[in-house]
Chain A
């Protein structure tokens, strides 16, 4: 029996979809059988971020309405063994599915997959209710901004009501140079305020924009954000992985300083 994990944030635009896509790829790379589900009805995005938008035939609503079998709506990602996407419907709205229907679907999928990842829409209305219905575990994505943290805190409260007591936290778009200047909350600041376990922090990385342009994950790439995502995936599987030092400039400056000292 696999795990059903919802990736949520409350606020939009903090990186839920990018995070879902990268975690999906990362877990597949760790030889887990993974299905990622886009639950944002009417605003389909996960397919584009994953570069699978041209292969959609059936979608989540088709499965729930019984227009096709589950297998027919699953798009196999040819680049990664064991990774499947169930896209959302672009022409339906939130009322097309109910929490109960999503719960039944994820239950069935969890019998066949190690991980069922649900990309949750922004907001706390029915889209959120649908996405969390079947989840046994949750990942809250936030950025180091007052508005995003406030929304994350509300989401944590709502998840508690759905019996997900300790969701995991991912802090996205950290800019170390701003943290050092005292103009951005640090990973420690945010973790302390939200008081839930930290799963990982992702640096604000141009590589993510480039990768998303190309419909590629950043996770296999040799860059800090890619490594941070990979570590997150290993932690999800239960492995203990030390946190990355996101302060690259310090590394380079440190090395330079050493160089000058030795001369």
Chain B
């Protein structure tokens, strides 16, 4: 696919939906993300590149092994 505007649209939507879904600013979500990482890494060995937090309407998914990316 050529470099169109879709990537920008998807990026904007991604942060927009997270803040809509949990009713917080993108900055706050970044903090949640990093604090969750710190909390989990106390007990489990993980690397930042393979750690992801996803918020859908009903669930918060925490990915540890990077299987989605």
Q: Please pick, from A153, A183, A185, A195, the residue contacting B20 in the complex, using a CB distance under 8 A.
A: A153
- Chain B residues with CB under 8 A of A195: 56-57
A154-175 contact mask (Cβ, 8 Å, vs B): 1 or 0: 1011001000010000000000
Q: Please pick, from A149, A160, A186, the residue contacting B57 in the complex, using a CB distance under 8 A.
A: A160
- Chain B residues with CB under 8 A of A181: 2, 4
**CA A145 – CA B6 in complex, angstroms?**
10
Q: Using a CB-CB cutoff of 8 Å, which residues 173-206 of chain A contact chain B? A: 180-186, 189, 193, 195
At the interface, yes or no: B9 with Cβ under 8 Å from chain A? Answer: yes
**CA A66 – CA B57 in complex, angstroms?**
39
**CA A208 – CA B6 in complex, angstroms?**
26
Question: By the criterion of a CB under 8 Å from any partner CB, how many residues of chain B are at the interface?
Answer: 19
Known: A160-B57, A182-B1, A195-B56. A149 touches B6 (CB 8 A): no
A55-96 contact mask (Cβ, 8 Å, vs B): 1 or 0: 000000000000000000000000000000000000000000
At the interface, yes or no: A104 with Cβ under 8 Å from chain B? Answer: no
- Nearest residue (CB) in B for A152 is B17
Shortest distance between the CB of B53 and any CB in chain A (Å): 15
Known: A150-B17, A154-B20, A193-B13. A182 touches B57 (CB 8 A): no
Q: Is the CB of B13 within 8 A of A182?
A: no
- Chain B residues with CB under 8 A of A30: none
Known: A149-B13, A150-B13, A189-B10. A182 touches B20 (CB 8 A): no
Interface of A is mostly: helix
- Nearest residue (CB) in A for B3 is A182
**CA A149 – CA B12 in complex, angstroms?**
11
**CA A165 – CA B59 in complex, angstroms?**
12
- Nearest residue (CB) in A for B4 is A182
At the interface, yes or no: B16 with Cβ under 8 Å from chain A? Answer: yes
List, sorted by A's number, 22 A–B pairs whose CB atoms are closer than 8 Å.
Answer: A146-B12, A150-B13, A150-B16, A150-B20, A153-B17, A153-B20, A153-B21, A154-B20, A156-B57, A160-B58, A181-B2, A182-B2, A182-B3, A182-B4, A182-B6, A182-B7, A183-B4, A183-B5, A185-B6, A185-B10, A193-B17, A195-B56
B residues engaging A (CB < 8 A)?
1-7, 9-10, 12-14, 16-17, 20-21, 56-58
List 16 additional A-B contacts (Cβ < 8 Å) besides A150-B17, A186-B6. Answer: A145-B9, A146-B12, A146-B16, A150-B13, A150-B16, A150-B20, A153-B20, A153-B21, A157-B57, A160-B58, A182-B5, A183-B6, A185-B6, A185-B10, A193-B14, A195-B57
